[in-house]
Amino acid sequence: MEVWILFNEDVNGSSAEAHEIRRFLEEGKEMGIDVKVYHPNRFDLLVTAKDRHAVLIDGQLVPLPDFVLPRTYVIDTGYFALAVVRQLERLGVRVFNKSNSIEIVADKLHTHQVLLESSLPTPTTMLAKHPINIDLIEQAIGFPIVVKTLLGVNGDGVFLLENRKAFEDFIQMVSQFNDNAQMIFQEFIKVSKGRDLRLFVVDGEVIASMERRAPEGGFKANFSQGASVSSYTPNQETKDLAIRTAKLLNLEVAGIDLLYTEDGYTICEANSFPGFKGLETCCDVNVPRAIFEAMQRKYDKAKGEPGEVLDQPVVDETDLQDAFISAEASNYY
């Protein structure tokens, strides 16, 4: 089985994300899985009917893998990375997670719209409309209030504003740089200040959970922001919420973040490229292995189904090069 990972950083870097990619490479090697890591910018997207069994990487035609695992944030790489995922999907490669799910989850407002449509609990949320009507926001949501940029990740672009004056000052400051900034305003769940739950879902199963607590005086409970983590044994309610959320968003790999409420839990957000460095420090779990095992199950199941083609056809490099030249001449790329 061959798996490609899309990643937009240096694999040997010091970030938590790079550490996690190295974990995938280590586990893949132990499991006998051929794992390759590609930066999305190494692809050239050629849309042609001539051949659908390879893609261009560094200008060379490369046969398709069995699976692709995107681990690159839309906010960092923009449209092109998403287009690469779409291209691979349309060529028949199995992708964990699919482009449509990545798009929905990257947009925090859209995520909450989808969840609420299916009656899943979420904090009251409002999209910023400029000029901002502060009276309406105070009436509909109230203070304190959480402000988030639409595409922030890892706790970046998230602010807690304690009162109307702090909110007014914040909006005035933001307007000096961008008077049409894309933000959402969200109900502050007081009982959950500085703590939340992260449930890691793979192929419809919660494989591990942790409670995250912000540093003293903080309210962001992200591991990347310095939060402490501890193993958490999920009850049926939290497991059901996480699994239903992942299923609704069509996420085969998901990090579902829940906030405590007075009478249960509410969904803070979903993550389509969930980090797991913190999770593996406090839980007895091997995240890359669990993901690869889910892929292997799908691979084995498809292999036993009549009419399912698993192995890529032998690629005729000459025919593919001819297709590339023909498409180039016709301005198809």
Cα separations (Å) of 155 from 105, 123, 148, 152, 214? Answer: 15, 17, 9, 7, 11
Residue 288 in this model has a pLDDT that exceeds 80: yes
Distance CA 185, CA 41 (A): 34
Distance CA 221, CA 106 (A): 19
Residue 183 in this model has a pLDDT that exceeds 70: yes
Q: Which bin fits 222, alpha (ψ -120 to 50), beta or left (φ > 0)?
A: beta
What lies within 8 Å, CB to CB, of 180 at 6+ separation is: 130
Counting Cα atoms < 13 Å in the Cβ hemisphere of 90 gives 15
Each residue of 233-254: pLDDT tens digit?
A: 999 999 999 999 999 999 999 9
Lateral strand order in the sheet of 67-70? 34-38, 2-6, 67-70, 94-95
**Could you tell me what percent of the chain has a pLDDT over 90?**
71
Q: How far is CA 103 from the centre of its chain?
A: 9
pTM of the predicted protein model? 0.86
Which has more pLDDT, 215 or 151?
A: 215
Report the candidate in 196, 326, 186, 320 with the shortest Cα–Cα distance to residue 258: 196
Per-position b or e across 3-25, b if 16+ CB within 10 A of its CB: bbbbbbbeeeeeeebbebbebbb
Q: How confident is the model at residue 273 (pLDDT cuts 50, 70, 90)?
A: very high
φ, ψ dihedrals at 23, nearest 5°: -65, -40
**What does pLDDT average to over the chain?**
87
Confidence at residue 329, expressed as pLDDT on a 0 to 100 scale: 38
Q: What is the set of domains in the chain, with CATH numbers?
A: 2-97+311-329 (3.40.50.20), 124-188 (3.30.1490.20), 191-289 (3.30.470.20)
Cβ atoms of 42 and 58 closer than 8 Å: yes
Distance CA 113, CA 99 (A): 18
What lies within 8 Å, CB to CB, of 248 at 6+ separation is: 114, 115, 118, 120
Concatenating the DSSP letter of every residue in 208-276 gives EEEEEEPPTT-----GGGT-EEEE----HHHHHHHHHHHHHTT-SEEEEEEEEETTEEEEEEEESS---
Q: Taking residues 278-301, report their average pLDDT.
A: 96
Q: How confident is the model at residue 324 (pLDDT cuts 50, 70, 90)?
A: very low
Confidence at residue 223, expressed as pLDDT on a 0 to 100 scale: 64
CB neighbourhood size of 197 (10 A): 22
Low-confidence winner among 179-183, 202-206, 224-228 (lowest mean pLDDT): 224-228
